[in-house]
Amino acid sequence: MEPIKDYLQVQEAINRYVNQDVYIHLETTNGAYASHHDQTFFSAGAYIRNAQVRYEIGKITGTDPYRVGLKINLGWIYAEGLTHFEVDEQNRLLLAGHDNKGKLAVALEISPTPFE
């Protein structure tokens, strides 16, 4: 993955999948050990894999870190804290937000085929 420097590159990748069936991986996480290491920490996260959707608008906004929102058939998908991206060999757009220790905190991935 590389840092998102030119958000237009990401915007172009998002545009490629407008108005077609795509599969979404979306997660946020503090890690399973956050409350173990700091008992005052309220750990929360959410995860969905292989949600099939269609979006009519997809947009990247913000300045590093970035936000991405997808306006889907009946609602919305949204992620914030995105720092890195990659279009992999399977033409999937992988977006992730990593903290300063290199730990993943958020991921939003858009794929034309189901994730494994």
**Three-class DSSP category at 86:** strand
Residue with tokens 């990593």: 98
Residues 93-112 that bind another protein (CB under 8 A): 94, 96, 98, 100-105, 107, 109
Q: Are 106 and 94 in contact (CB under 8 A)?
A: no
Taking the mean position of all CA atoms in its chain, how far away is CA 107?
Answer: 4
Q: Which lies closer to another protein via its Cβ, residue 50 or residue 61?
A: 50
Distance in angstroms (rounded) separating the CA atoms of residues 16 and 91: 10
Binder to another protein among 8, 32, 46, 74 (CB under 8 A)?
32
What residues line the site for another protein (CB under 8 A)? 1-3, 25, 27, 29, 31-33, 36, 39, 47, 84, 86, 88, 92, 94, 96, 98, 100-105, 107, 109, 115-116
